[in-house]
Amino acid sequence: MSLLTYDRAVAGLPRTAVDAKLVSLLKLAAIGLGVFLSGFVIREPAPYELYMVGLIAVWALAGLKISRRVAPLLALLIAFNIGGLISMSQLADLGTIPLYVAVSLFLALTSVFFAAIVEAEAELLGVVFRAWIAAAVMTAAFGILGYFHAFPGAEMFTKFERAAGVFEDPNVFGPFLTLPAIYLLYLILTAQPRTALVSTPLFLIVTGGVFFSFSRGAWGLLILTAGLLVLAVFLNANTAAARLRISVTAFLALAGVALALILALQIPAVADLFSQRAQLVQDYDSARLGRFARFGIGFAWATEHPLGIGPLQFGQILGEDTHNIWLKALLDYSWLGFAAYLTLILWSLTAGFRILFRRRPWQPYLICVYIVFVGHVALGTVIDTDHWRHFYLLLGLLWGMIALEQKRMAAQFSNTE
């Protein structure tokens, strides 16, 4: 909202109404900036952490409430992190491990924070999505420009000759872009022509970032979630005409992405790296101590160490991290942490699915968040998602909308009595 528009909007209103409107605008801006900063993570602590610490503190002082509907999320995340403390107790030399555990706890709190504010004000969902799209478009554009060395110093936005945007790791950069890509695809499939037209170039930029990350996990995540989205939107459509439009638009979107891929593969360097990265099994997966062998070793260790072996110790011992969130939970967060994490994921998937097709104002956001969350759970079997800021944001948004539905149903029940 421009200052002129704001002045016109508040003209003639009582001072209390003006103050309330100003507070509301500041609130929206504060949340939007926090989500936007989640797209810029070079190292820990990132600007996102520093900003969110202050934001959560201010919100808590202003009366942030954790309802009984969000309380299970808080309890399970605390249990998960208590498991991390138990695992840390197995180490004689802690080094930087306390900082790692502190970041884990902080990210858990961000998830609870977003769940609580979404339950309190569903309107914040729109701000969150717009800010996430803005961050995704910007960091994807940097990643693409960096990959092609479009300007001096552009290589700072790449890692291992792959687009990384303003991220430390291409394998996190790609998945971060998935929710904005899926929401933009949702708009292309369902929105008015003008909105769909505006969303199309943004979708191409974001999916271009995913492609040039050359992350097999990100590719698979985008393909899986896009397919699930088309299916969900098709099933949710009211009329045959709407389903026809969705089918045709999805086909055209697929054709457009395929054409863009064909054009990109005409560049020899892109084609060479694509053919290398497109192999389902890489040498470091199937080597004697490769990813799959480490899975076996790690799960064997987990049966022998119910208290865990200590955060980050797996990678120090075997030279590579677990690349599996379930194994990570067992070894870095003990059996207690694993049980809490498993319960949290199953609870989230079950509760989210039950309300997925209920027509609510927030249903478009729920469909996109739930599908991308499902994709991240699947991705966690081949990569460690433990400190992914956007995963905790997804979790918080999902629980916030689950709480919204529970609150709505409770209100309806009260009105019928």
Residue-wise burial string across 237-266, b where 16 or more C-beta atoms lie within 10 A, e elsewhere:
beeeeeeeebeebbeebeeebeeeeeeeee
Which residues, in sequence order, are bridge partners of residue 163?
158
List the structure tokens of 31.
Answer: 């949340």
Distance CA 340, CA 333 (A): 10
Q: Looking at the chain, how many residues does it have?
A: 417
Distance CA 288, CA 132 (A): 40
Which residues, in sequence order, are bridge partners of residue 41?
167
- Report the 10 Å Cβ neighbour count for 1: 11
List the structure tokens of 84.
Answer: 């991390």
**CB of 376 within 8 A of CB of 385?**
yes
Tell me what the pLDDT averaged over the chain comes to: 89
Alpha helix positions (H), 121-215: 124-147, 170-176, 178-190, 193-212
Residue 102 phi, psi (nearest 5)? -65, -40
Distance CA 23, CA 121 (A): 14
Domain range summary for the chain, segments of one domain joined by +: 3-416
Residue 39 phi, psi (nearest 5)? -90, 10
**pLDDT in single tens digits along all 417 residues of the chain:** 444 454 555 455 566 666 677 878 888 999 999 999 999 887 767 789 889 999 999 999 988 899 999 999 999 999 999 999 999 999 988 988 999 999 999 999 999 999 999 999 999 999 999 999 999 999 999 999 999 999 998 999 999 889 999 998 999 999 999 999 999 999 999 999 999 999 999 999 999 999 999 999 999 999 999 999 999 999 999 899 999 999 999 999 889 888 888 888 888 888 888 887 776 665 555 555 566 778 888 889 999 999 999 999 988 888 788 889 999 999 999 999 999 999 999 999 999 999 999 999 999 999 999 999 999 999 999 888 988 999 999 999 999 999 999 999 988 877 665
Q: Does the pTM exceed 0.75?
A: yes
